[in-house]
Chain A
Amino acid sequence: MKPGNDPGELVHWQRVSPVAVVFFALHGLRRLIGASANLAPLLVVVVFNETLRQLAIQYGPPAALLLLTGGALAWYLTFLYAVSDERILLRQGVVRRRTLSLDFQRVQQADVQVPWYYRPFGLAVLSLDSAGASGETLHLSGIPAARAEALREQILIARAQAGPAAAEAEEPGLNADFSLSLPLCEVLRYGLMRNTLLVLLPVLAPFSEILLRRLEEVIAVIAPNWLTAETLAGGQRFLAVGGLLLGLVLLMAVVSMGLGLVRYHGYQLERHGEQFRYRAGLMTVLTRSVRRQRIQMVTVRLSWMGRLMGRHSLMISKAGDRQAGQDTEHFVVPVLHRCALQNLMQELHLPLQPDWQRPHAGAMLTGIGRWWAFGTLLIGSLMLQGAPVSVLLSLAAVTFVISMLAALGWWRLRLCREARWVGLRQGVLGRTVRWLPTARVQSVSLLQPLWQRRLGLASLDVRAASGRIVLPWIPRRQAERWRDELLCEVASGDIL
């Protein structure tokens, strides 16, 4: 993004809809919360000082409200935009006026979002990510949804003309080369599959006693004579804890399904030429697209819950993704049954029947050995300090279980090198397959620790901008050959 100063160009500045004040206020609120983290020391002083606290309680909320609405209004009044054939210009700033110019050809990603407060007015937000590592996203908020879509199409066409392969940007639903839509039941399955909330359970388990006591108190208030702490003995107590946990699981599943529905309701994926695009969302409708040439990594995930339901999920990382591992930043296909997965993999030109290879068995032995060595050291040092035998035994058991899990992990690990892809399959209960396109490789490292060198083995560390894949414990000759082939492919990528 650079300051737009084309004196010859006639610029027709436009204002966005007044409803955009809501957007600016929400943005301002987000920034205020972000800034308040820096003011934490001041907050401590305010909390502990009686006079300041009273003042803050009395005048804080109205002042914040005034600041927010005033700021949002000022922002709205100074925010202007102009669109020409080649670029978009934004003028904003209350005190210091800035004019930003973004060439369509330099746009990396163009998303159209329809937040819930814009829906009644038929407005939308156009978010543009520019080329370059600054990571600054440009939001054009409060323009008519049709105009946002048209602008997005215009940008895609401009970018495709600039790129080596022209991508046809067409109206959604028309002449798509491939399309995939997820019905409601599939989206709900995603909520069940995504077990990030279930991870909370082990964390909550130690608090189940406290929760149970609270529950008892609540019951004692509602029905004093029905259930007392005395009657809750033995098996009953056990049942109560079990019931509580089950209730929590169900609650989390419902919450998780709700969150999934908000994000992926009405999911529709299409491919137009080299362009993949999806559109989804219940409250805020998000349109996200990625070109085949910009794919940096494809991750196919089968969680243990997904295994039970026979559903995979697929995630495409592309150039310019800032936070690795965050679903919200990536191009996601949340739920895929086996058949749909095969079709999509075919569309992505991923190998359908890859030639999976096992790493050398030594990997498993070092995997076990590492944990046993660590466990022995820990137990030995605790023994010298006179720790009780029960503690030592339980530590030994934990070490054994972890080492067995590590061994199982290595046992199930598979790697492969196919035409144009490098793949790695991992997972004990679930399964994650990561594919890295060889055309996007940035650097290749051949690693040879002492023991691998003795066995004539090596590991290959293949890096791209959005992640890396390590192909461990393969014969040295093979690793060297793959390295040379990969380098040759990358070096000739620009020539071909």
Chain B
Amino acid sequence: MSDLPGDPLQSSAPGAAAQDIDEMAESLMTEQVNPVLEPDRFTPLQEADFQPVDPAYLKQLRLTLLPVLLLAAPLGWQLYQLPLTLPWVTGLALLVPGVVIILLALFWAPRRYRLTGYCLRQHDLHLRTGALWRRTTSVTLNRIQHLEVSQGPLERLLGIARLLIYTAGGSGQDLAIPGLAKVRADQLRLYVLQQLGEPDVGEREASEGDA
């Protein structure tokens, strides 16, 4: 049960005009997914429904491992107390976190990237994440209060974004879809906003984008 048409990156160059995004969002709306909704019948969520996130997310995961190197400082301090020469201390202090980073980058990051996915249906939105501790979070669209597209410095560098979804009354976001291509994140946001019955939001923002 695929819900979105082909990868937007293929059909739109980076920095595509907001109008194109709007058109894409409209084409999304016309596509009917899990339309049957009766209390006694429900559409089960299938693993195959999940869309993968952008490959740049893998790079982001690997880059976010780098702060582990900071562990070298306390470790070096501990080793410095032992009767070791300075080259040994530096080497050992860098080696241990280095090995940890390499192992995580080789095994954990690809697994986490592979298992991270989202699924947008007509009435609900799902996020699957976690390499060892797997979690699938689901929110129905009628509970969504507002949406945000957020881009940290690293994400801006990689051209990806996070879609944050807030529901009523909750503290903080209920769902954060990481590693989305910026265009795809905007597209998803507009689509959900239009589903929520705020068509003018999309139009207004699209015209702002043009200006």
| A contact set with B: CB distance below 8 Å | 133, 319-320, 441-450, 453, 463-466, 480-481, 483-485, 487-496
Contact = CB atoms under 8 A, between A and B. Distances in A.
Given A443-B143, A488-B37, A488-B42, 11 more contacts: A442-B168, A443-B175, A444-B138, A447-B133, A448-B130, A448-B133, A449-B133, A465-B169, A483-B45, A485-B42, A490-B140
A175 B203 CA distance: 53
A480 B142 contact: no
B186 to A, nearest CB: 23
Contacts of A465: 167-170
A442 B167 contact: yes
Contacts of B132: 449-450
B135 interface: yes
Contacts of A487: 42, 123-124, 138, 140
B43 interface: yes
Contact of A488 (B39, B135, B136, B168): B39
20 contacts: A319-B169, A442-B139, A443-B137, A443-B139, A443-B170, A444-B137, A445-B138, A448-B130, A449-B132, A449-B133, A453-B134, A484-B43, A484-B44, A485-B42, A487-B123, A488-B43, A490-B142, A490-B143, A491-B124, A491-B142
Nearest to B131: A450
Contacts of B39: 488-489, 492, 496
Contacts of A480: 44-45
Contacts of A448: 130, 133-135
Interface in B125-168: 130, 132-143, 167-168
B138 A481 contact: no
Contacts of B175: 443
A370 to B, nearest CB: 14
A484 B45 contact: yes
B205 interface: no
Nearest to A459: B135
Nearest to B169: A465
Given A466-B169, A487-B124, A447 B138 contact: no
B78 to A, nearest CB: 15
Contacts of A493: 142
B169 to A, nearest CB: 3
A319 B167 CA distance: 13
Nearest to A448: B134
A344 B140 CA distance: 31
B136 A446 contact: yes
A483 B41 CA distance: 13
B208 interface: no
B156 to A, nearest CB: 28
A463 B173 CA distance: 12
A44 B77 CA distance: 38
A491 B167 contact: no
Contact of A491 (B123, B133, B134, B168): B123
Nearest to B128: A446
A490 B140 CA distance: 7
Chain A to chain B: the 3 pairs with minimum beta-carbon distance, closest first: A465-B169, A488-B42, A491-B123
Interface in B107-137: 123-124, 130, 132-137
Nearest to A481: B44
A447 B134 contact: yes
A294 B37 CA distance: 24
B38 interface: yes
A320 B140 CA distance: 21
Contacts of B130: 448
B174 interface: yes
A441 B140 CA distance: 9
B128 to A, nearest CB: 9
User: Chain B CB within 10 Å — which of A320, A448, A487 has the most?
Assistant: A487
Contacts of A319: 169
Interface in B1-52: 37-39, 41-45
User: Chain B CB within 10 Å — which of A320, A488, A495 has the most?
Assistant: A488
Contacts of A495: 37
Given A491-B124, A495-B37, A442 B169 contact: yes
Contacts of B170: 442-443, 463, 465
A483 B138 contact: yes
A480 B136 CA distance: 10
B37 A133 contact: no
Nearest to A488: B42
Contact of A443 (B44, B123, B167): B167
B171 to A, nearest CB: 9
B164 to A, nearest CB: 13
Contacts of B44: 480-481, 484
Contacts of A446: 135-138
Contacts of B174: 442-443, 463
Nearest to B141: A491
User: Chain B CB within 10 Å — which of A490, A493, A495 has the most?
Assistant: A490
Contact of B140 (A445, A453, A491): A491
User: Chain B CB within 10 Å — which of A443, A449, A450 has the most?
Assistant: A443
User: Chain B CB within 10 Å — which of A464, A490, A491 has the most?
Assistant: A491
Contacts of B167: 442-443, 465
Contacts of B135: 445-448
B157 to A, nearest CB: 30
Nearest to A489: B39
User: Chain A CB within 10 Å — which of B43, B45, B138 has the most?
Assistant: B138
Contacts of B140: 487, 490-491
Contacts of A463: 170, 174
Nearest to B137: A445
A463 B143 CA distance: 12
A8 B143 CA distance: 37
B142 A443 contact: no
